[in-house]
Amino acid sequence: MILAMQTLDIVIPCLNEEQQLPLTLDKLRTFCQAHMAAYRWRIVVADNGSTDGTLAVAREFEERHQGEVAALHLPERGRGRALRTAWLESPADVVCYMDVDLSTDLAALPPLIDAIACGGYDVAIGSRLRKGARVEGRTLSRELISRCYNALIKLMFLTRFSDAQCGFKAMSRKAVDEIIPVTRDLAWFLDSEILLIAEKRGYRIAEVPVHWRDDPDTRVKVVGTAWGDIKGLLRLRFGGIPHPKRPA
């Protein structure tokens, strides 16, 4: 019996990244051609509300590299909105996402995807806090905020996963179809919301140590993002963890 090759969609959410996006797509395509031959992969650029040439760049790559790159446009901003839309519309067996700056070394991509496709896990996440991980260029303040946030999650929910915020995650098609429809966040808290629902409802989560290089030109607004995350945690803590939409 010949088994069909599993399909993989790699989503890159983008907001005003016309300069970085071509570099990222060239590097990611080259890596996938060399190291992801076990999968029928596709890179999906999820442009959410860009006002520069990001969408034009994505569509140019889509035209030049048909089957390898696809462009998705959302007129409204929101990283969580972009991921929810891209993952729910995807037909792939496994979906993942990574930040456009490729802060996570791509060497972690094969084990991340293999954990879902071959290892029987429902969710796989990159971790900067597991043994074997390396972090470069991160300021003390950002490291402190990250560690305090992950400690707060453990205190509030007694979780086992180590790094909720690393922008490097994968899910099985089953987990996407069941978990994503009951999530509510359209911004940065979506990562944490997915993991809290998954762990509390019995989905298996794999953690892959990563080599992380912090981007000094990051667009993340730390204070606003942190406040949004805290509000999300309070919503789930006092409003309850939703039940995934499992098929009847």
Average pLDDT, whole number, for the chain? 94
Mean pLDDT of 59-72: 98
Joined together, the tokens standing for residue 67 give 């089957």
| 223 or 23, greater pLDDT | 23
Cα–Cα distance list, 92 to 6, 72, 181, 246 (Å): 8, 15, 17, 18
User: Quick check: is 245 in a domain?
Assistant: no
In a domain, 80, yes or no: yes
pTM across the whole model? 0.95
Report the alpha-carbon distance of residue 230 to residue 187 in Å, rounded: 13
Residue 146 lies in a domain: yes
Residues 6+ apart with CB under 8 A from 140: none
Q: 9 - beta bridge partners? A: 42, 95
Q: 235 burial class (0-12, 13-18, 19+ CB within 10 angstroms)?
A: middle
pLDDT in tens, 104-153: 999 999 999 999 999 999 999 999 999 999 999 988 888 898 899 999 99
Kindly state the average pLDDT of the residues 31-37: 98
pLDDT band at 2 (very low <50, low <70, confident <90, very high): very low
Residues in the chain: 248
How many percent of the chain have pLDDT more than 70? 95
Residue bearing the bigger pLDDT, 156 or 214: 156
Looking at the domain assignment, is residue 103 inside a domain? Answer: yes
In a domain, 2, yes or no: no
What integer is the mean pLDDT of 68-96? 98
Domain residues for 17? 7-239
Span 64-82, average pLDDT: 97
Is 230 contained in some domain?
yes
**What integer pLDDT is reported at residue 222 of this predicted model?**
67
Q: State the Cα–Cα distance between residues 46 and 71, nearest whole angstrom.
A: 6
Instruction: Please report the pLDDT score of residue 234 as a whole number.
Output: 97
Would you place residue 1 in the very low, low, confident or very high pLDDT band (cuts 50, 70, 90)?
Answer: very low
Examine residue 248 and state whether it is found in any structural domain, yes or no.
no
> What's the pLDDT score for residue 120?
96
Tally the domains of the chain: 1
How far lies 61's CA from each of 21, 78, 101, in Å? 10, 23, 17
Q: What is the pLDDT of residue 216?
A: 65
**Alpha carbons within 13 A on the beta-carbon side of 132:** 7
Answer for the pair 23, 67: CB distance below 8 angstroms, yes or no.
Answer: no
Residue 213 lies in a domain: yes
CATH no. for residue 224? Answer: 3.90.550.10
